[in-house]
Amino acid sequence: MKAIILAAGEGSRMGKLTQNIPKPLVMVNGKSIIERQLSILKQNKILDVIIVTGSYNEKFNFKNVVYVNDLEHKKHDTLGSLITARDYMNDEIIITYADQIFDEKIMESVINFKGDIGIAVDLDWEKNYVDRDQHPKSEAENILINGNEILEIRKNISACKENEKIGECPGLVKFSRKASKVFLDKYSELEISHQGKFHNAPSLEKALISDMIQELIDSEINVEPIYISGKWCEIDTPQDLEIARKIFE
C-alpha cells in the first residue's frame, strides 16, 4: 500500500505563517502538519510515501520519501497535483491532503476499508464550525450519502431526503489497485475529450479530486463512505491553526 500526500498548495490564507515555508511545514505543538501524517503512516506500516510539492520544494527534507515537484501547481488544483504523481498510482493507495491532521483511529479506519473506492466521512462534522468565522461551514467539502453509497460531493450541501445523510470528508481517500487504474483511465479519456465546465470546477484543469470522483459516481462506479470517528481538523487559516493546537495538545 502506498500513500500520496498532496502538499503543493500555496497556503495564502495563513498570512505571515507561510511567507517563507509551505503550509504543511507549519508547526502544531512541536511537530509540523505533514510530520504528523508521516508519523501515523509509519505507525501503520505504510512506508511507501510520495509527497507532491509545489512552492518551497527545497524546504522538504524528510528521508525515505519520494518527492514529486508539481511545477504547474499555480495553474491547476488538487486533481492536477495528484495527476503529477500518476506514475506512482499503480497499487492500493491512500490519498491525503497535507493541511489535514487526524488521529491514528481515523487512519486505521481508512486502511481497513476493503472496497475499491472509499472516502472518509465524518457525520458529526457540524460541531467543527462553531466559532470558526475565518473558515465557515459553507466551505465544507460535503458528502451526500444514501445507505452505503455516495451520491454527491461538493461544498455546502444543505438539504437531503429523509433516507439520506450529509457528512464531511477530512481529506482521506482510498483506492484499490483496480480503482487506481479506473481513475487514471477515466482521466486520460477526459484529457482528450472534455471541454468547458467540469462538475463544480470551471474546467478539468482547475478541478478538485472531488470533481473527478463525482465523475466516477456519475459513470455508475460505486464510491463508498468510510465512516470515521476521532480527532481531525483542516488547517487553512490562522484560526484553524489555533483550533488544531487545542485539539492536539
Between CA 134 and CA 143 the distance in angstroms is 22
Which ranges in 156-208 belong to alpha helices (H)?
A: 177-193
Q: Check whether 66 has a pLDDT greater than 90.
A: yes
Between CA 200 and CA 206 the distance in angstroms is 10
Over residues 219-249, the pLDDT tens digits come to 999 999 999 999 999 999 999 999 999 999 8
pLDDT confidence tier of residue 200, bands split at 50, 70 and 90: very high
Between CA 175 and CA 177 the distance in angstroms is 6
Residue 156, pLDDT score: 87
pLDDT confidence tier of residue 11, bands split at 50, 70 and 90: confident
Q: Check whether 35 has a pLDDT greater than 90.
A: yes
CA distances for 230 relative to 18, 103, 104, 129, 181, angstroms: 28, 7, 8, 16, 31
- Indicate the domain borders of the chain: 2-247
Residue 240, pLDDT score: 95
The CATH superfamily holding the domain 2-247 is Spore Coat Polysaccharide Biosynthesis Protein SpsA; Chain A (3.90.550.10)
Strand positions, DSSP E, 70-207: 93-97, 100-102, 117-121, 141-146, 149-155, 164-168, 172-175
Q: How far is CA 7 from the centre of its chain?
A: 10
Between CA 25 and CA 60 the distance in angstroms is 8
Q: Check whether 106 has a pLDDT greater than 90.
A: yes
Residue 48, pLDDT score: 97
Over residues 178-191, the pLDDT tens digits come to 999 999 999 999 99
Between CA 232 and CA 240 the distance in angstroms is 11
Q: Which residues contact 180 (CB under 8 A, 6 or more apart)?
A: 89, 90, 91, 92, 93
pLDDT confidence tier of residue 65, bands split at 50, 70 and 90: very high
Over residues 122-174, the pLDDT tens digits come to 999 999 998 888 988 988 999 999 989 999 999 989 878 889 999 999 899 99
What pTM, to 2 d.p., does this model score?
A: 0.95
- Evaluate whether 51 touches 3 at the Cβ level (below 8 Å): no
Which ranges in 31-173 belong to alpha helices (H)?
A: 33-43, 78-84, 104-111
**Rounded (10°) CA dihedral 80, 78, 229, 157:** -110
Q: Check whether 32 has a pLDDT greater than 90.
A: yes
- Which helix or strand (DSSP H or E) is residue 238 part of? helix 238-247
Mean of the per-residue pLDDT values of the chain = 95
Over residues 45-63, the pLDDT tens digits come to 999 999 999 989 999 999 9
How many H-runs (helices) and E-runs (strands) does the chain carry? 6, 14
Q: Check whether 210 has a pLDDT greater than 90.
A: yes
